[in-house]
Structure 1
């Protein structure tokens, strides 16, 4: 069957049997403006390099500084690993956007999409774990070190990876390369093909993505940070009552700190919603188009939502690392240690270069 590219590049089109429905995902054919593919590819690659660079700094500080090895930062470490793995898919997606057709092979068709689902949801649930840890520490006033040892954190992080891997395992099997003929030209694309039957697998998948990949995490994170915000307000009122005679400079300093805390809490929730809601909306709209026989969602809608999601690994290091005053102090400690080590090495006699190793 022959299709126009305007139909192929939208929410769905029927296969040769007029019953199987396909979506082209990362592939798009015969674009009216060729520059769009280059713009998308350049944006994705820039986001990839920025994110990897930032998250490597986060990992380096945590591994080098013993003071940085807190419970929360262990979770941040797991988040950084998920960020790097997720955004590493960007160059491959950029390549597909440039070529249109899928030339990466059937194995990569299975692995790339499955890995993106697993890594993105691992990132999301690690952020949930961080919010829970902060809630217990701040609201319940229970020290993390009294509750969790590093081995416990390892089990929690491993459990997150294992759970997301199992939840999205079907996508590893049901993503396949499909080939179509359009005006004598064959196009190949990687798409999700669910088995036929009475069970609506696509509906179940979309519902799971909506609930487990966005809805439930947003609710948990919002509740935890709202409780922290309430605790902060109560503490603020108590401090204001006791220290009414505080100096102007002290009051201004406290207000700046309060403003920073409130801003951080709001940003954590708002940015999470902004980064991941577009992906959920696109999948939901594709499902809605299929159910109602409409064909309105363009294939580049998924790419735009994915680019927004790629922003999250760039912003996570800022929100969970560089905006953390304790983390900044750890970076400063690492720098001072490095400077001292360099100074000691330069001061040592040239004939004893190995002695610097033991300083």
Structure 2
């Protein structure tokens, strides 16, 4: 952790082993606490609304929305668990002990991997829906989506537990003084991790969405030609295709936002030789990654009318009425 000689000790009673607090401007520190706490609260609130909406209303129990639900759960946990703990780093001293330090990094790695996995699943879902629409209902069923989501989370838990096994046994092994919370990943493990959780998934996401974009453009042109030739006839097939294309565009924005928010963080960790200290170094990249969890439900609110309607039902407590699960949200 970054320390300055003029700073106070984190633990004055442990002078020989305590870290020093970095010298900070009081006004700047207070501003950061207020700003980041507000982002954390907003992230928790918005993603909780997404979770309640998709879980409660039966009309929203679709394969695509199950993937959004999984993503919202990971985003909710980022705002509820990771952001508040990360705010503690602003003070320059880790006060929760080595055990919580290990759990914090483990949870952080799990949620990051799960989010990447959810983005890959969303990209696959849109690829099949746009590029193979006739087979979509049989290939992408709610049961298969649930299995894929469970496997995604299980893999994240197992894989990161394996990668951080030694660190979890001795979470204070990389700390130079008492009051730090650092984790260092060796270059070989870091290279494998970057391949599995960044380079590989991002490549799959980009390739699939490039294919989706090409097919979506051709389908949109075909629909415009069909509607122009038969202006009085709007078949259910055309309407369904428009719905799928709109969903593809919306989820494309979600994926693009994820790429813009996550790439700086992953590039930083690679450039730093996979050294992830609990300091101000790389804090901007990390909080940009966290901010994506707040951004996703904002995108839903702007692009999905059903989300705005469900928020109205929730805030007015209409969901407490009998039969509210069957309400017309779409």
Residues 75, 157 of structure 1: 8 Å contact kept = yes
**Runs of 5+ unmatched residues, structure 2:** 6-18, 323-330
Q: Structure 1 residues 275 and 36, CA, compared in 2 at 3 Å: closer, same or farther?
A: same
- Change in Cα spacing, 1:339 to 1:284, as seen in structure 2 (3 Å) is closer
Secondary structure of the residue that 2:258 maps to in structure 1?
helix
Aligned pairs, number: 297
Instruction: Quote the residue 1:238 is aligned against.
Output: 222
* Cα distance in structure 1, aligned partners of 2:313 and 2:22: 54
Rounded to whole Å, the distance in 1 between the matches of 2:101 and 2:268 is: 20
The answer on 1:284 being equivalent to 2:270 is yes
Moved more, 145-154 or 107-116: 145-154
In 2, distance between residues paired with 1:159 and 1:269?
21
Structure 1 residues without counterparts, runs of 5 or longer: 8-26, 181-185, 194-200, 291-296, 343-359
Q: With structure 2 as the length reference, what TM-score do the two structures score?
A: 0.75
Q: Which residue of 2 aligns with 1:192?
A: 183
2:261 corresponding residue in structure 1? 275
Contact 1:110/1:173, CA 8 A, preserved across alignment: no
TM-score if structure 1 supplies the norm length? 0.70
Structure (1 or 2) with the larger CA radius of gyration: 1
The equivalent of 2:299 in structure 1 is 319
Q: Post-superposition shift, 1:264?
A: 3.6
Contact 1:122/1:164, CA 8 A, preserved across alignment = yes
User: Offset at 1:318?
Assistant: 3.1
Shift in Å, 1:111: 0.3
Q: Distance in 1 between matches of 2:245 and 2:310?
A: 23
83, 89, 101: which one aligns with 2:82: 89
CA contact (8 A) 1:117 1:168 kept: yes
Q: What is the alpha-carbon distance in structure 2 between the residues aligned to residue 139 and residue 316 of structure 1?
A: 25
**Counterpart in the other structure of 1:171:** 164
CA distance 1:172–1:306, change in 2 (3 Å): farther
Q: Deviations over 1:207-234 (max 9, x none)?
A: 2343222222222222222222212211
Per-residue CA deviations over 1:123-149 (Å, capped at 9, x if unaligned) read: 111111011111111211146542344
Matches of 2:158 and 2:244, distance apart in 1: 42
Give distance in 2, aligned partners of 1:71 and 1:261. Answer: 12
Contact 2:64–2:125 (CA<8 Å) still a contact in 1?
Answer: yes
Deviation at residue 261 of structure 1 after TM alignment: 7.2
Aligned-pair RMSD on alpha carbons?
3.9
- Corresponding residue of 1:128: 120
Instruction: Please state how far the C-alpha of 1:262 moved relative to its aligned partner.
Output: 8.3
